[in-house]
Amino acid sequence: MPGPSGISRVNAEGRDTHLPPHIADLFPDSFQESELGLIPKGWTVKNIDDMTRCVGGATPDTKNPNYWEDGKNHFATPGDMSLLKSPILLSTNRCITDDGVNKISSRILPVGTVLLSSRAPIGFLAITEIPVSINQGIIAMICDKGIPNYYVLFWAKANMAKIIGNASGTIFQEISIQYFRAMKILVPSSALLEMFVLQLEPIYANLVNNLRESEFLSNIRKTLLPKLISGEIRVPEAEKFIAGSSKINEER
């Protein structure tokens, strides 16, 4: 299947796109000049910071317990992102207090924010499914300017070689947020973006549900297996525990 611009080229050549007609018709059949070269007619080229709010993070003083002790606010690092099997962030290794959050200019980011690890190393991507604060090794793209986070995620993945290629640093490579904000993103028509979300949203929701279920089952196993092996509990007790935990998980 060709990419978006490729589909427009197929339309222009009168060939079969192998897409349903109501979707294929959303792609222009002609092109126009832009700073990125030829792009489908009617589409625009914007800075990523024009289409999202790009913000960075920080790490509150780790020696100050007021920022960390009994913290309830999720705090993401590139290390958390490196462990993901799918680009969806459901939890973090550490949490910070409200005082800790207040030490970070970007504060708490909303669910649906796209995260990019900007150093150590560059290139991990995720969409947040929890409110989260971030450290200085992450650039966050808050998608509240009309372009869907799914599109932003795929744009970042498709342009990762360019992102990494413009990194700098003597100790370790890092992409600066100033450079990143000026990166160009190709913006299709609003009708095509709406159709993109319509097609992708149920797939994404199913993926999130499956990951949550997998995480829930993994936590149950970690809790029950040592108790079963030691004889602390028996199978009937374990079954009751699982049933109760499942009900709580469904209510969430």
Where along the chain do its domains lie?
4-42, 48-187, 196-251
The two counts, helices (H) then strands (E), for the chain are: 10, 12
Q: How far apart are CA 19 and CA 25, in angstroms?
A: 9
pLDDT tens, position by position, for the chain (252 residues)? Answer: 456 678 998 988 999 999 999 999 999 999 999 999 999 999 999 999 999 999 999 999 999 999 999 999 999 999 999 999 999 999 999 999 999 999 999 999 999 999 999 998 999 999 999 999 999 999 999 999 999 999 999 999 999 999 999 898 877 889 999 999 999 999 999 999 999 999 999 999 999 999 999 988 888 888 888 887 888 887 777 677 667 666 555 555
Q: 48-187, which class in CATH?
A: alpha beta
Q: How far apart are CA 98 and CA 200, in angstroms?
A: 35
Bridge-based pairing state of the strands 114-118 and 31-34: unpaired
Q: How far apart are the first and last CA of the chain?
A: 38
Q: How far apart are CA 144 and CA 183, in angstroms?
A: 18
Q: How far apart are CA 69 and CA 135, in angstroms?
A: 17
Report pLDDT for 242: 66
Report pLDDT for 159: 96
